[in-house]
Amino acid sequence: MKKPDIAILGVTGAVGQELLAILEERKFPFASLKLLASGRSAGKEQKFMGKTYKIEEATPDSFEGIDLVFASAGGSISKALAPYAVKAGAVVVDNTSAFRMDPEVPLVIPEINPEDIAKHKGIIANPNCSTIIALVPLWPIHKAVKIKRFVAVTYQAASGAGAKAMEELRIQARDFLAGRPVQKNVLPHQIAFNVFSHNSGIGPDGYNEEETKMIKETKKIFHDSDIRISATCVRVPVLRAHSEALHIETEKPITPDDARVLLAKAPGVKIVDDRERNYFPMPLETTGQDDIHVGRLRVDSSVTNGLAMFVSGDQIRKGAATNAVQIAEVLFKDWRLA
């Protein structure tokens, strides 16, 4: 079978660049590659797997002959251009929030609901990064003892706001330590040596957009409208990789040891839980990794059948680019085996 012709929409961003790295690392087969970005980047060169590609401006006519599009250029761009890609015959794996809650669009984490991929009508949505990092380790527990409720508190790296936010953290840290005034251009508050509520809009219920995404996306991915979720999302001065404290209430009892056994066998999870050395998941160690690290497994005695854990995962990899490529691997498994 012919290998797919693929395009990356938003190739110059942090996730677009990571997609290139993941495609090479996982040896994803392709016949041709088209790199798309805004007009500002058109004409620039990108080296990939020993070949130099010229970046093209993304337009409605960019998708002729393309089988697969990885889209990570922002929700408004996806809404504008994804329908043209689908009309041209491509399948779009979209890494923005544009289509996640569309009932016609599968929202997929391959470790959880790969069967939903087959229901696509041209677009498959990649979940929010915080949702992915929480749900990969929660799913094995949910399958075993059914999670009735969980509370998530996130510690989200600058990478979640893109490459420019990561650079702003670097610049602010240098300026602060040198005694120079700190400038804010990307994020609304100083990120260096500071912590603040996630920089997304607050809804009438008091939850910000990031928190609402986690709540709604979990229900859709788990196919469980009854699960109760509360989230508090926070931006922290970490360059890359998000961490989360998860407090879970289950229908049936589960001990930390039982959970550890389940998670040790779960795809995409690595146990990092050494109480003697006080050694648990850290963003420094999940950066550049695909596994979600899980630790601090303990009883949450504030509820019946309570379990608590701390997790960390690379927002740009498993939280975005790797998950998208894993979706494509399932979608085009015949090509991958050819």
> For 92-147, how does the pLDDT look when each residue is reduced to its tens digit (9 = 90+)?
999 999 999 999 999 999 999 999 999 999 999 999 999 999 999 999 999 999 99
Q: Same domain, yes or no, for 44 and 97?
A: yes
Confidence (pLDDT) at 336: 44
Q: Same domain, yes or no, for 289 and 181?
A: yes
Confidence (pLDDT) at 337: 38
Q: Using 50, 70 and 90 to split pLDDT, how confident is the model at 28?
A: very high
Confidence (pLDDT) at 333: 81
Q: Cβ neighbours of residue 111 under 8 Å, at least 6 residues apart?
A: 136, 139, 266, 267, 268
> Is residue 25 a contact partner of residue 52, using CB atoms and an 8 Å limit?
no
CATH of the domain at 9: 3.40.50.720
Q: Cβ neighbours of residue 177 under 8 Å, at least 6 residues apart?
A: none
If you count them, how many residues does the chain have? 338
Q: Same domain, yes or no, for 42 and 157?
A: no
Q: Which region among 246-260, 291-305, 323-337 has the lowest average model confidence (pLDDT)?
A: 323-337
At residue 313, does pLDDT exceed 50?
yes
Q: How many CA atoms lie within 13 A of 26 on its CB side?
A: 23
Sign (positive or negative) of CA dihedral 187, 188, 191, 195:
negative
Q: Same domain, yes or no, for 115 and 30?
A: yes
Q: Output the pTM of the full model.
A: 0.94
- Strands 91-94, 68-71: parallel, antiparallel or unpaired by DSSP? parallel
CATH of the domain at 193: 3.30.360.10
Q: Same domain, yes or no, for 53 and 163?
A: no
SS (H, E, C) the chain: CCCCEEEEECCCCHHHHHHHHHHHHCCCCCCEEEEEECCCCCCCEEEECCEEEECEECCCCCCCCCCEEEECCCHHHHHHHHHHHHHCCCEEEECCCCCCCCCCCCECCCCCCHHHHHHCCCEEECCCHHHHHHHHHHHHHHHHHCEEEEEEEEEECHHHHCHHHHHHHHHHHHHHHCCCCCCCCCCCCCCCCCCEECCCCECCCCCEHHHHHHHHHHHHHHCCCCCEEEEEEEECCCCCCEEEEEEEEECCCCCHHHHHHHHHHCCCEEECCECCCCECCCHHHHCCCCCEEEEEEEECCCCCCEEEEEEEECCCHHHHHHHHHHHHHHHCHHHHHC
Q: Report the number of distinct structural domains present in the chain.
A: 2
| Alpha carbons 333 and 338: distance in angstroms, whole number | 9
Q: Same domain, yes or no, for 311 and 324?
A: no
Neighbours of 234 (CB within 10 A): 15
The mean pLDDT value of the chain amounts to 96
Q: Cβ neighbours of residue 75 under 8 Å, at least 6 residues apart?
A: 96, 97, 98
φ, ψ (nearest 5 deg) of residue 296: 55, 30
Q: Same domain, yes or no, for 207 and 301?
A: yes
> For 184-212, how does the pLDDT look when each residue is reduced to its tens digit (9 = 90+)?
999 999 999 999 999 999 999 999 999 99
| Alpha carbons 77 and 58: distance in angstroms, whole number | 9
Q: Same domain, yes or no, for 256 and 331?
A: no
Confidence (pLDDT) at 2: 80
CA angle 149, 150, 154 (to 5 degrees): 160
Confidence (pLDDT) at 165: 94
| Alpha carbons 17 and 32: distance in angstroms, whole number | 17
| Alpha carbons 4 and 332: distance in angstroms, whole number | 8
> For 254-310, how does the pLDDT look when each residue is reduced to its tens digit (9 = 90+)?
999 999 999 999 999 999 999 999 999 999 999 999 999 999 999 999 999 999 999
> Is residue 253 a contact partner of residue 269, using CB atoms and an 8 Å limit?
no
Q: Same domain, yes or no, for 84 and 69?
A: yes
Query: Could you give the residue numbers annotated as active site?
Result: 129, 242
> For 132-167, how does the pLDDT look when each residue is reduced to its tens digit (9 = 90+)?
999 999 999 999 999 999 999 999 999 989 889 999
* Domain with 145 in it: 131-315
Q: Same domain, yes or no, for 56 and 200?
A: no
Q: Same domain, yes or no, for 203 and 186?
A: yes
Q: Same domain, yes or no, for 280 and 302?
A: yes
- Strands 45-48, 228-235: parallel, antiparallel or unpaired by DSSP? unpaired
Q: Using 50, 70 and 90 to split pLDDT, how confident is the model at 334?
A: low
Q: Using 50, 70 and 90 to split pLDDT, how confident is the model at 1?
A: low
At residue 9, does pLDDT exceed 50?
yes
